[in-house]
Homo-oligomer: A and B are copies of this chain.
Amino acid sequence: MQRIECGVLGATGMVGQHFIRFLENHPWFDLTWAGASDRSAGKKMQEATAWRLDGEMPERISRLRVEESKPGNAPKLVFSAMDASVATEIEQSFAKAGHIVVSNSKNHRMEPDVPLLVPEVNADHLGIAAKQRERRGWTGLIVTNPNCSTVALTLGLGPLKPFGITRVVATTMQAISGAGYPGVPSMDITANVIPFIAGEEEKMQQETQKILGELSYEGFAPLAARVSAHCNRVPVVDGHTVAISVELAAKPEQGAILDAFRNYKGALQQYQLPSAPARPVIYMDAPDRPQPRRDACRENGMVVFTGRLRPCPVLDWKFLALGHNTIRGAAGAAVLNAELMQAIGLLDS
């Protein structure tokens, strides 16, 4: 199969670098176009980028010429790693010009005609695509993935959806890589907890309802569950840990929930997507797992690990979920979305 050309908007930033790394040896997508701010345009990626990830920028990418963030000569498929301050208009201009914009930015996530995907959980939400095009008069499309902490929560909750999720209290312990670079000052987080991340709790609460909700002819119906998030930053490099209490309408027994975690396949089984893990959720039996430093990077960082299922005296059950925030929670999530869109023909549409 000939690989599909793709571009990255915001290629020189931290999220852009995660896209470069994740796409480095991708079997379907070939990164050939890098868009960034006017200030960087015209330079080689090597010069325009302060590479912050481990190791070095892939040789081939370092020689790419940075382009202005305008449609024009970009490939049809573009991943957006743009800062929220500029993403709204640029993403729209690409979609209007016929591009498929697979975005990690928060700007369009909560729009009523934009899919917010955790594809194992709500692949069917892509069904809104036709309505988006019709309503906006676009030939392109904008598709989004959630905030990094939302991914760990919603994929962790995915196996429990059939039991009827009615209430969720989720407390996060989030890694510093989630804040980008320079991000969190070391004077703030060394041997410390910062019990606040601006805007994060609101995002987790709203996005979770949309993702776990239903798409009907009328549009998205958010899950009627009440969701409460407490968001904290802890001195961890990669991996967001979430302590979850959940109320389930069906009042399942512990064994049924464990079975649900262990047998969960998600909605992608049929597609053989290169970035989809064999099992999107892995339940760990050890009493003190999952742990971010030991588990977040396993399985290419694309699995959400759960563990410690036990009764909750207030809601019904308590458990843990852990996801790699810059892979499963950002670049990997977007690429998986694009793979699904390719598999169902949406990239050609």
Contacts and interface: CB of A to CB of B under 8 A. Distances in A.
Contacts of A294: 54-55, 192
Contact of A193 (B176, B181, B234, B308): B234
Interface stretch (A31-39, A130-138, A236-244, A261-269): A236-244
A184 interface: yes
Contact of A196 (B169, B234, B308): B308
A285 to B, nearest CB: 11
B308 A195 contact: yes
Interface stretch (A145-153, A155-163, A309-317): A309-317
Interface in A166-189: 167-169, 171, 173, 176-177, 181-189
Interface centre among A182, A188, A230, A314 (most CB of B within 10 A): A314
B187 A177 contact: yes
Interface in A279-298: 287-295, 297-298
Contacts of A297: 54
Contacts of A241: 193, 195, 232
Given A193-B241, A228-B318, A230-B243, 8 more contacts: A169-B315, A183-B187, A186-B190, A187-B237, A189-B190, A195-B241, A195-B290, A237-B293
Contact of A315 (B195, B228, B292): B228
A205 interface: yes
Contact of A288 (B167, B182, B194, B235): B194
Contacts of A234: 173, 193, 234-235
A212 to B, nearest CB: 14
